[in-house]
Amino acid sequence: MNRPVRVHPSLTESRLSVYWTDTAASPHQAPRLSTSADADLVIVGGGYTGLWCAIQALEDEPGRRVTVLEADSCGDGASSRNGGFCHASLTHGLENGLRHWPNEIETLTALGRANLDGVEETLVRHGIDASFERTGELVVATEPWQLAGLERGSEIADRFGYTSTVLHSAEVRRLLDSPTYLGGLVVPEDVAMVDPARLCWGLRHIAENLGATIHEGSRVSRLERSGKGLVLTTAEASVRCDKVIVATNAYRSPVRRARKYSIPVYDHVLMTEPLSSGQMASIGWQGRQGCGDSGQQFHYYRLTDDNRILWGGYDATYHWSSRIDPSLDDRPETHNKLAHHFFETFPQLEGLTFTHRWGGPIATTTRFTAAWGIGSRGDVAWVGGYTGLGIGASRFGARVALDLVDGRDTERTALSMVQKPPIPFPPEPLRSFGVSVTKRAIQRQDRRGGRQGAWLSLLNRFGVGFSS
Ligand SMILES: Cc1cc2nc3c(=O)[nH]c(=O)nc-3n(C[C@H](O)[C@H](O)[C@H](O)COP(=O)(O)OP(=O)(O)OC[C@H]3O[C@@H](n4cnc5c(N)ncnc54)[C@H](O)[C@@H]3O)c2cc1C
């Protein structure tokens, strides 16, 4: 029997609700697909990836008949419930990129930077206010063994033309004050903070303005071939089309072959009430950087426009058989743990309360970056699995999926990251077993000063891992 969890006092008034969407500004619901229709391109899933597919398809070819079929509301998946760290990296960080694609990392970094510029440029061109704020990033060490990682991170960042700075404890505390900080690494470029929901709604607005047809409440239950075309079926009707892109990320893909490459991992988040000017002064945070600590299990945190703190991460959770369900958004043990860690980090904020708590599914692959695929006839492509860095990368993911389905050979499709799929996850029960052994090994690594045990070393040799 599960023991009831004692709720941290800061959480007693919190709502189980995504802060970003808890506003009257949410757009009207698009109509369900209720009559049969035709399209040139159908996109399954209305998160960032699906919406970027629609936008870029219509920018490439105005007048193309593009339909997006979304099971719930656009953004209801990860896209309107994330932390809002919009990163240029397409490889879940430089270190991971170097590990997997040492020969392509220069190209991948350049493509990632151009992609982030493309996100910003699109928002500006269409007048979308998603609170896009290029704040850069602050990574902190809270254990002595993490300091070497900051030095290594700085060396790598500098090799790729960033202007990173390693800070001693007193210097980092002048920037953002926590007694737990032993050092920090500031990388001022290539990371922006966004309001995730406003970004998603903005992308939906752009796609509709360019001529896309969006149906919400329209879950695709079947994707099949019919003559020369394809038919997608929802509860009430169907769409016949020439090409399909599947952008369902963590959710069960309508394409069976895609399913083994990614699994859903739940990540949980807290949002505080707005900080008073006195509370802000007690922590500093002048640069408003997106922050993260550098354990294997890490927290990420940032400010909102009205100076709340979003605090999330640490306890990524996989549920048996890749289950995704709204009931999993609430995880008292994780939310309590996060609250404890928050006040250990910022004891000067004792008394501050959390107004919102939530969770959501991140799709991870064994190499922590997106995977793409294309069906044998070249008219069905899929993409997903960005792990915890999908806000920026989803635009690139969509671009590549369009290249694939439109039969374009580009610098992007030639990348081995695109050509070669990640090592797949095994089926259940091995999948759950593997994840739980790996999670325990990661916890041990953090406890043992960063030393990898035999299991993680073995996975490392095969280029396989588990992260959020
Ligand atoms: C708590 C949390 C924090 C995160 N923090 C960050 C962060 O700070 N920075 C970052 O870069 N990334 C972050 N991420 C990851 C990021 O949010 C995702 O990588 C990104 O949103 C993926 O977008 P997507 O469109 O591919 O997937 P989703 O947004 O999940 O969209 C998939 C859509 O497909 C729909 N769908 C599923 N099945 C069907 C079907 N059969 N028919 C029709 N529609 C279907 C779903 O309803 C959903 O809307 C975070 C994720 C979570 C959950």
Q: Which residue has the higher pLDDT, 18 or 467?
A: 18
Q: Which residues contact 38 (CB under 8 A, 6 or more apart)?
A: 65, 239, 240, 241
Q: Is residue 451 predicted with pLDDT exceeding 90? A: no
Which tokens belong to 450? 């960063």
Instruction: Examine the pLDDT at 153 and tell me if it is beyond 60.
Output: yes
How many Cβ atoms are within 10 Å of 15's Cβ, its own excluded?
Answer: 13
Using alpha carbons, list the distances in angstroms from residue 427 to 265, 325, 430: 15, 20, 6
What's the rounded Cα separation, in Å, for the pair 137 and 187? 5
Q: How many CA atoms lie within 13 A of 424 on its CB side?
A: 12
Q: What are the residues whose beta carbons fall under 8 Å from the beta carbon of 375, sequence distance 6 or more?
A: 255, 257, 381
Whether residue 251 has its Cβ less than 6 Å from ligand 1: yes
pLDDT band at 457 (very low <50, low <70, confident <90, very high): confident
- Which of 267, 289, 391 is the pocket-test mutation for ligand 1 (most atoms within 8 Å of CB)? 391
Most ligand 1 atoms within 8 A of CB, residue of 33, 67, 70 to mutate: 70
Distance CA(124)–CA(121), nearest Å, equals 5
Any ligand 1 atom below 6 A from CB of 249: yes
Handedness of CA 166, 170, 172, 175 (dihedral sign): negative
The finding on whether 269 has its CB within 6 A of some atom of ligand 1 is yes
**Predicted confidence (pLDDT) at residue 1 exceeds the cutoff of 60:** no
* Residues belonging to the chain: 468
The CB of 264 under 6 Å from ligand 1? The reply is no
* Ligand 1 neighbourhood includes 290 CB (under 6 angstroms): no
At residue 464, does pLDDT exceed 80?
Answer: no
CA 262–ligand 1 middle distance (angstroms)? 13
As a whole-number percent, the residues of the chain with pLDDT over 70 amount to 99
Query: Measured in angstroms, how far is the CA atom of residue 187 from the centroid of ligand 1?
Result: 26
Nearest 5 degrees, angle CA 204-CA 209-CA 213? 65
Burial of 211 (0-12, 13-18, 19+ CB in 10 A): middle
The greatest distance separating any two alpha carbons of the chain, rounded to the nearest whole angstrom, comes to 69
- Tokens standing for 443? 């916890």
Mutate which of 190, 216, 362, 382 for ligand 1 pocket (most atoms within 8 A of beta carbon): 362
Residue 109: its H or E element: helix 105-125
Per-residue model confidence as pLDDT tens digits over 264-278 = 999 999 999 999 999
Does the C-beta of 220 come closer than 6 Å to ligand 1? yes
Each residue's pLDDT tens digit, 220-233 = 999 999 988 999 99
Residue 206 has pLDDT above 70, yes or no: yes
Query: Would the CB of 112 count as within 6 Å of ligand 1?
Result: no
Encoding tokens for residue 467? 């992260």
For residue 466, is pLDDT > 80?
no
State yes or no: pLDDT of 2 exceeds 80.
no
When pLDDT is cut at 50, 70 and 90, the band that residue 3 belongs to is low
Residue 77, ligand 1, Cβ within 6 A: yes
pLDDT for position 4: 65
CA of 265 to the centre of ligand 1 (A): 11
CA–CA gap between residue 425 and residue 466 (Å, rounded): 10
* Phi, psi (deg, nearest 5) at residue 215: -120, 120
* pLDDT at 20 > cutoff 80: yes
**Exposure string for 307-325, b = 16+ CB within 10 A, e = fewer:** bbbbbbbbbbbbbeebebe
Are 183 and 168 in contact, with CB atoms under 8 Å apart?
yes
Instruction: Tell me which residue of 283, 307, 296, 228 sits closest to 38, measured CA to CA.
Output: 228
Tell me the pLDDT tens digit for each residue of 343-382: 999 999 999 999 999 999 999 999 999 999 999 899 999 9
DSSP-derived pairing of the beta strands 37-44 and 238-246: parallel
Which residue minimizes the CA distance to atom 31 of ligand 1? 47
pLDDT tens digits, residue range 240-255? 999 999 999 999 999 9
Q: How far apart are CA 380 and CA 388, in angstroms?
A: 25
**Cβ of 195 below 6 Å from ligand 1:** no
Instruction: Provide the pLDDT for residue 450.
Output: 80
Task: Supply the mean pLDDT for the chain.
Answer: 95
Percent of the chain with pLDDT over 90: 87
**Which residue of 79, 236, 372 sits with most ligand 1 atoms within 8 Å of its CB, as the best mutation to test the pocket?**
79
34 C-beta neighbours (distance < 10 Å), count: 13
Which pLDDT does position 437 carry in this prediction? 85
Ligand 1 pocket: which of 67, 82, 198, 220 to mutate (most atoms <8 Å of CB)? 82
Average confidence (pLDDT) over 258-287: 97
45 lines ligand 1 (CB under 6 A): yes
> 8, exposed or middle or buried, with CB in 10 Å at 0-12, 13-18, 19+?
buried
Determine the Cα–Cα distance for residues 78 and 22; give it in Å rounded to an integer: 15
Distance CA 249, CA 45 (A): 8
Residue 48 has pLDDT above 90, yes or no: yes
Check whether 110 has a pLDDT greater than 90: yes
Tell me the mean pLDDT in the region 14-36.
95
Nearest to 217, CA basis, from 14, 350, 74, 26: 74
381-437 pLDDT, tens per residue? 999 999 999 999 999 999 999 999 999 999 999 999 999 999 999 999 999 998 888
Distance 73 CA to ligand 1 centre (A): 12
